[in-house]
Structure 1
Amino acid sequence: MPTGWSTWISRAVPDDAESGGGLLVATIQLAITVGAAAGGWMFDLRGAGGVFVASGVLMLLAALTIFTRVRHHG
């Protein structure tokens, strides 16, 4: 697990960091599963080009969300 995530978990849940880490790993695995299922569905529906278009759209939406929602602590 990357150092940043471990540090964030230990600060967010200082009394139960081990359980927090387990929940983080489970969440990551769920995201991978959902992404693989959605990608397979898109491939069946529109082919490889559809997968690239859909992933590009999701990437742009994620970038927009990050740039508008994340606050800098400085």
Structure 2
Amino acid sequence: LDGGILKYFEECGGDHYTGDCFVFDQRVALNSQLQETALEQCFACRAALTNDDQKSPHYVPGQSCPYC
């Protein structure tokens, strides 16, 4: 992919893509419309956390998550 997956989304859209694209900045993940998703990243283990993960009693923002 010349220019990477984000460039592909810009040019072709997400018709042939399912899921989120992990990015290495504060956004954590983008969808195929290049919009930030609701994913967060665990401070301790760096796992990507869904909304359900963030509701877990094992999730302590800035400390730990269900995957630690």
TM-score where L is the length of structure 2: 0.29
TM-score where L is the length of structure 1: 0.27
In proportion to residue count, which structure has more strand? 2
Structure of larger gyration radius: 1
